[in-house]
Amino acid sequence: MLRFIYTDELPEEDELEDSSAQMFQDLLAAADRYALDRLKIICAQKLWQKVSVDTVATILAWAENYNCQELKNKCIDFFVVEENFRKAMFTDGYGLLLLKFPAIIDELRKRV
């Protein structure tokens, strides 16, 4: 985050020791906390690149938690594809959505 603050850019992928979804989720949380909107957008883009059936529910929860509406919408669109929804229902992230964001689950079920 400090590198971004001083240079207005993230390190290149090959410079990052950890470019996992978890790292970008943590960076998104910090960007939201310190109102670094451009960094939030970059993190949302990086997280979208990491969306899969296994990660979509967790990324959707983070998007909801940290007010990333565009990422949330993209995740919902990915989620509501029937095949993706059936597979993603058996991930840990889906359990997180059930517990913390039941309104999102209701929205998903209406759209599937």
User: How many angstroms separate the Cα of 5 from the Cα of each of 29, 34, 46?
Assistant: 15, 11, 18
Query: What pLDDT, in 10s, does the model give residues 76-101?
Result: 999 888 888 889 888 888 988 999 99
Query: What pLDDT, in 10s, does the model give residues 21-38?
Result: 888 899 999 999 999 999
Domain ranges of the chain: 2-111
pLDDT value, residue 19 = 67
CATH of span 2-111: 3.30.710.10
pLDDT value, residue 6 = 85
